[in-house]
Amino acid sequence: MTTSETGKMTYKTCGSSGLKLPAVSLGLWHGFGGNASFDNMKNLVFGAFDRGITAFDLANNYGPPYGAAEENFGRILKEFGTHRDEILVSTKAGFDMWPGPYGNFGSKKYLVASLDQSLKRMGLDYVDIYYHHRPDPGTPLEETCGALDSLVKAGKVLYVGVSNYNKEQTDAAMKIFKRLQTPFIVNQSRFSLLDRKIERTGLLSYVKEKGLGLLTFSPLAQGILTGKYMENIPSDSRVVTDGRYLKAEDVENSLLCEKVRRLSEIAAERGQTMTQLALSWVLHHEAVTGVIIGASRTEQLDENIAALENTRFSEDEIKRINEITIKD
C-alpha cells in the first residue's frame, strides 16, 4: 500500500489494488434522508469535496425513507458537472429494501435489481464500489459473489466489496472472487476504540496479510467518542433526533462515560479533541485504508480531517489506551 497527500488529505491505495481512497470518506447514513435540509446536504458534499474527501459512501436503504439518501445525492451530483471522474461513489445492498422474498439479503435477483434502482436514483451509469451489505445464510456464497462479478462484467460496477463479513466469511468470498477474477478490493467493518471486535476475531490482521483494503465505519461509536455525552445528552444530539441506532441507555452507562473521560485526558495531552483521538487511533493501524465519517456541519469535516495531522502513538499512549478500552 502507498500513501500520497493533497492539501490536508491523505490518500492510501486500497489493499493491493491501484485505487486510492482518502483517509476520510463521507458516509450518507445519517442526515441525508427525506427529513433533512437539502441545502445542508449539498453544503456537506461540496464542502467535503473541497477538502479532499473524494469518496462518498451510500447504501440502497439509507434514508429515511429507503432510497432517499441516494435520491438526494443524485440531485447533488447533477451540480457536480464534470467532476464525476474526480469522486468515488459506493453503494451497498443486503438489508431490507422492499416487501416480499426478493427485497433483501444476497440472491442474484435482489443484488441486480437493487443496483439498477440505485443507479436510477443517483442518475449514474456505474458505481465505483458495490458492496454486499451483510452475509446471507440462505443464499450460496457462490451465487452472491457471482452476481457481483456479473455486474462488474456488465460495466455497472468497477470494484466490489463486502460489509459486516467476519474473517472466515471474507476468506471464503475472496477465494471465489479470485477464481472469477473479480476486482474484490475491500471489506467494510465497524471499528473504534469502543468496538475492537475485528482485532479479537483476526479480521484486522487477515486483511493486511491478504492485501485487502479495510474501510471502517462508526469510528466515533455513533457519537459517543466525541465526548459530548460525558455530562448530559444535548437536545440536538442523535439520541434525541434519531434514536434508531443510538439510545439514551447506550450513553448513560457510567462505565462507558468513565472510559471516554479518561480517553479525553490522553487526547488533551496530544493536543487533540476527543473526536480527533478516536479517528487518529483507528487510522494508525496499518491495515486500515480509511474511516467513514458522518457529519451535520462543515465544521465537523475540518475537525475530523485535522486528526490526520497526528496519527502516531507512543508505546506509552497505546498501553494507556489499551488499559482503558480493553479492560472492564
Question: What domains can you pick out in the chain, each with its CATH number?
Answer: 3-325 (3.20.20.100)
In this predicted model, which residue has the larger pLDDT, 178 or 236?
Answer: 178
Strand order, beta sheet including 20-22: 3-6, 9-13, 20-22
Q: What is the pLDDT of residue 240?
A: 42
pLDDT at res. 235:
46
Q: Do residues 107 and 139 lie in contact, with contact meaning Cβ atoms separated by under 8 Å?
A: yes
Alpha helix (H) residue ranges in the chain: 38-50, 68-77, 108-122, 141-153, 167-180, 197-200, 203-210, 238-241, 248-251, 254-269, 274-283, 298-305, 315-325
Q: What pairs with residue 90 in β-bridges? A: 57, 129
Q: What phi, psi does 246 have (nearest 5°)?
A: -140, 120
Q: Is the pLDDT of residue 239 over 50?
A: no
What's the rounded mean pLDDT across residues 273-301? 97
Q: Check whether 247 has a pLDDT greater than 70.
A: no
pTM confidence score: 0.92
Question: 256: pLDDT confidence band, cut at 50, 70 and 90?
Answer: confident
Predicted local distance difference test score (pLDDT) of residue 80: 86
For residue 35, give the amino acid letter.
Answer: N
Confidence band for 249, pLDDT divided at 50, 70 and 90? low
Are 20 and 13 in contact by the 8 Å Cβ rule? The answer is yes
